A and B are shown apart, each in its own frame.
Chain A
Amino acid sequence: MTESGETKVIRTACGIVDGVRCGILAHVKNGVLVKVEPAEFPDPRFRHICARALCSTQFVYHPDRLKYPLKRAGKRGEGKWQRISWDEALDTIAKRLTVIRKKNGPESLAWAIEVMAYIRLASALEATMINPIGFGDAAGPCADEVTFGTQYGHLYTMDIKSPGMCVLWGANQAETRPYYWRRIRDARERGAKLVAIDPRFTSSASKADLYISIRPGTDAALALGMMNVIFEKGLQDKDFIIKHTVGPFLVRGDNGMFLRERDISSLDSDNYVIWDTRTKKPAAHVEEGTLPALDGAYKAGDIKCRPAFQLLVDLAKQYPLETASEITEIPARTIEGFALDYINRKPVASYRSMGLQRTFHGDLSWRAVATLAAVTGNINLDGYNEGYRRFLFDANTMLYGDKFPRPMPLLKAYEAITTGQPYPIKALWLAGHNFINQDPDNNKVLKELVPNLEFIVVADMFMTDSARYADIVLPTCSFFEYLDMLPPLDILSPYVQLQPKIIEPLYESRPDRDIVNEIGLRMGLGDDFPVSAEQYVERLLSSGHPSMEGITLEKLKEGPVEAAPYNFTGFGTASGRLEFYSEHMKEHGQELPLYIEPIESARQPQAKKYPLSYLSTHTKYGNHSLLANIAWLRELNAEPLLEMNPLDAAKRGIADGNIVVAFNDRGSVKLRVKVHQGIRPGVVNINEGWWRHHFTEGSYQELTHATINPAQLAVFDPNSAMYDNLVEVRKID
């Protein structure tokens, strides 16, 4: 055998797994991608690759890749298609969007995307941008907006130097974020204790020194129970609380707002007020030489007040060990031992992951865990400064004109499409967001949302469940086929990377940016509307954002470039402090991170009919629905499985390997059961990401609901409570 052509090795960044862009070396021979391997970084800790990225050649050269534009030739979802030219596809889309826009207003056009190129088009058309984060990832950012004043509070709680203990709160880093695991590994090898709190015994839990099996959605009660143990023994970090949190701020008894200097003096000052135990008088929080009270009740002028920390102590008192144990179903001595360990092993790194925030009140779980870390002084004050924060380049560079598209939370879009409130959405364009497979209440999506949409466009590499319901399907490129510069979403990595074009687009596929340019021109936007990929990168680099300073395209072509850090220490909240007490949340009764029973738990009335808590967790075998069609991964993970504890199986006459149906009032799904001890009694799980046709019948998202949490809506975006759903399971004969 002779080898024709030589292999070129080109550095790029992986685009398979969301949330991280590992550096990879792509081997190209005769224009064909033949191999990938991990690329080095100046800091060797960031050299990573995972099983998913190693499937790149399978992904790029998948036989099912969409090869040319398609027009629907039957009913929606029927699977009948007609091949059309790009010109016909683009002309049709431009025409339909123009007509719908004229008839229903510009906001009736909506995009739900993970591909940033469309922001330019949506902004130019003054259209709606649906924020897909509400598919299950919104409650954590919402919580951290309250507590830290940034959506990325991980860095405050997780990025702790030399921890004596790492706590995985509903986090399964070993499977879903393996690139974080090395930090946990290093900490453990230096003697840190690992605690995993999860209703499932995951790969991460298998490494833990202490595994705590918790009733789903009750983490806030655990954190409050631990705080109560800590407060009773006076083990809180008073210094940290006084200096960095709202703990000493006096809260008005009459309205729950922080007392301000103007409330008790003639000064028109927004200063917060503390009780100075030296002078036994109220004082502005900025005043030096005071010794602020953290406990007690005071009168400032005529206003009865208490320090915010006292209110937290009072809340924690409602969770003595026996109560916390009764709620969480964790033995009281385990909670007590964990709480004392938490103090003795300081500093503690808290890994709060998305599993923790996928119950209806998951934002409160996140807040409670952050509060536990705060009152024990386990907060990295430079958190705001690290990693992801370095990449917040000026988003205006993505726009055409100066207006952002109208933002709409995902779950509000359900209402807009079905009821026309606050305004109707009539055309939906999906790219990188598999709405019809991955979003909650799939029967509602199919039966109420899809028929109410006049026009659906899907741009994708594959005929996904969403694409199946489109009117026009456009074939797009893999990340090896076009140039881009990406915010490298690994929030711990300081590097900006380039994604060069490595191979030519396959078949007739086109990069999303080219599609955007073409549609813009066809819809009569200016000649200055189209931007090439190079122009786009130049714009980001020259945005004037401090993090982009000194970074050029030429430098990026040579390798990853470290972005400049923000020079910011502290918190982005209104008070500039860590707000475990939030006056903004008072109107929702959630000024403190209290525990509220999940809306669909085994203790709710509907559990009589549907007694099992249903989760749809993430796995090491894919990334959402993206890799469910990759043969190499399917060899290890052949079919969807419903995980069930042997106790629950025995009650229902179910044996391992049986075909079962999981159902509730919203829908059902048929699949094989995996009966094992790795899941808590009373809880069942189906790993998310499977496509409808992978199930014997139905879909795993038929079981979930799209109920809006109003408190989350007020702060940020309401989250889909994917892990707060009740089902029953029955054997199929």
Chain B
Amino acid sequence: MAKRYGLVIDLERCIGCNTCIMACKLENSLEKGSWIRVDTIGGPHRDSPEGQHPQLSMHFLPVLCMHCEKPPCLDACPLEAIFKRSDGIVMVNEKKCDGCQACLQACPYGALVYDMTSNIVQKCTLCAHRIEKGLEPFCKICCETEAIYFGDLDDPDSSISKLIAARRAATLKPQSGTRPAVHYCATRQGRIE
């Protein structure tokens, strides 16, 4: 059976602790930056709310490669360095990449990272190397509030498929037609972005 791996991130659970960022750095030996980021949805700064004190709101939005069904980065790459595996994981072939960054322009989520030292583009692999060993993505393993769920979107009985149905989890920028594999459960206020 074909699989389509994906994540569900519960924004009501996410407390913006950045553990996923450090997990990504550690797992992928990233001295600088990370393939997942945690945006503050609120005021102009990290960890700052919108509104007027004390009528305020703020939440955190982890953003990573959405492993889209129709990845615009793949279409944008002139060298065909980006490919999609049969399990749905979108990968960069670093040997083919020449660092032109056309994919960065094409991604609606800002999920690709250009590494200046090696002149290539990198991004979240959904920890494909772990999945191949039967393990789960490291950010999921480390998430302090257990806000990240991993599984097979094509299996209607998988925990994430059920969660998506139960919580009506949605994707980021659905209008872009990318059909992401990363889904989000909204906050209690019904907010995602």
Contacts and interface: CB of A to CB of B under 8 A. Distances in A.
B49 A204 contact: no
Nearest to A631: B31
A676 to B, nearest CB: 4
Interface string A398-417: 00000000000000000000
B142 to A, nearest CB: 5
Interface in B37-92: 42-54, 56-60
Interface in A194-208: 201, 203-207
Contacts of A632: 22, 25
A54 interface: yes
Interface residues of B, number: 40
Contacts of B146: 182
Given A174-B17, A203-B15, A636-B21, A677 B141 contact: no
B171 interface: no
Main secondary structure of the interface of A (DSSP, over half): mixed
A206 B43 CA distance: 12
Contact of A678 (B16, B56, B59, B141): B56
B138 A181 contact: no
B191 to A, nearest CB: 11
Nearest to B60: A203
Nearest to B41: A206
Contacts of A203: 15-17, 47, 58, 60
Given A211-B54, A645-B53, A678-B53, A49 B142 contact: yes
Nearest to B16: A203
Contact of B53 (A54, A55, A213, A621): A213
A493 to B, nearest CB: 15
A38 B22 CA distance: 13
A620 B21 CA distance: 13
Interface string B18-38: 110111011100011100000
B58 A50 contact: no
B26 A36 contact: yes
A459 to B, nearest CB: 28
A49 B25 CA distance: 15
Contacts of A206: 42, 49, 56-59
A35 B16 CA distance: 22
Nearest to B52: A677
Interface in A670-717: 674, 676-681
Contact of B142 (A38, A174, A656): A38
Interface centre among A55, A57, A207 (most CB of B within 10 A): A207
Given A38-B142, A636-B46, A213 B15 contact: no
Contacts of A636: 18, 21, 46
A677 B21 contact: no
Contacts of A37: 138, 141-142
Contact of B17 (A201, A211, A620, A678): A620
A635 interface: yes
B39 to A, nearest CB: 12
Interface in A36-57: 36-38, 48-51, 54-55, 57
A179 interface: yes
Contacts of A55: 22
Main secondary structure of the interface of B (DSSP, over half): loop
A678 B47 contact: yes
B13 interface: yes
Contacts of A205: 56
A677 B48 contact: yes
Interface string B98-124: 000000000000000000000000000
B53 A179 contact: no
B15 A181 contact: yes
A185 interface: yes
Interface in A610-669: 620-621, 631-633, 635-636, 645, 656
A54 B23 contact: yes
Interface in B121-172: 138, 141-142, 144-146
A499 to B, nearest CB: 20
Interface in A13-60: 35-38, 48-51, 54-55, 57
A633 B22 CA distance: 8
B18 A677 contact: no
B53 A35 contact: no
Nearest to B32: A635
A190 to B, nearest CB: 13
Given A38-B142, A51-B19, A674 B48 contact: yes
A322 interface: no
Contacts of B23: 54
A178 interface: yes
A645 to B, nearest CB: 6
Given A213-B54, A635-B33, A681-B53, A178 B144 contact: yes
B131 to A, nearest CB: 16
A175 interface: yes
A182 B18 CA distance: 16
A185 B15 CA distance: 10
Nearest to A38: B142
B149 to A, nearest CB: 14
B134 to A, nearest CB: 15
Contacts of B25: 54, 632
Contacts of B21: 51, 636
A206 B32 CA distance: 29
Nearest to A204: B15
Contacts of B57: 206
B52 A57 contact: no
Nearest to B146: A182
A35 B26 contact: yes
B60 to A, nearest CB: 8
B43 A677 contact: yes
Contacts of A681: 53
A179 B16 CA distance: 14
Given A49-B142, A201-B58, A678 B43 contact: yes
Given A50-B144, A181-B144, A203-B47, A174 B15 contact: yes
B17 A175 contact: yes
8 contacts: A178-B15, A178-B17, A182-B144, A185-B13, A203-B47, A206-B49, A206-B56, A620-B16
Question: Which 6 A-B residue pairs are closest in the complex by CB-CB distance?
Answer: A213-B54, A54-B22, A174-B15, A676-B48, A206-B58, A51-B22
Given A178-B145, A676-B45, 19 more contacts: A48-B144, A49-B142, A49-B144, A51-B21, A54-B19, A54-B22, A54-B26, A54-B142, A175-B17, A201-B54, A203-B16, A206-B49, A207-B12, A213-B53, A620-B17, A636-B46, A677-B53, A678-B47, A678-B53
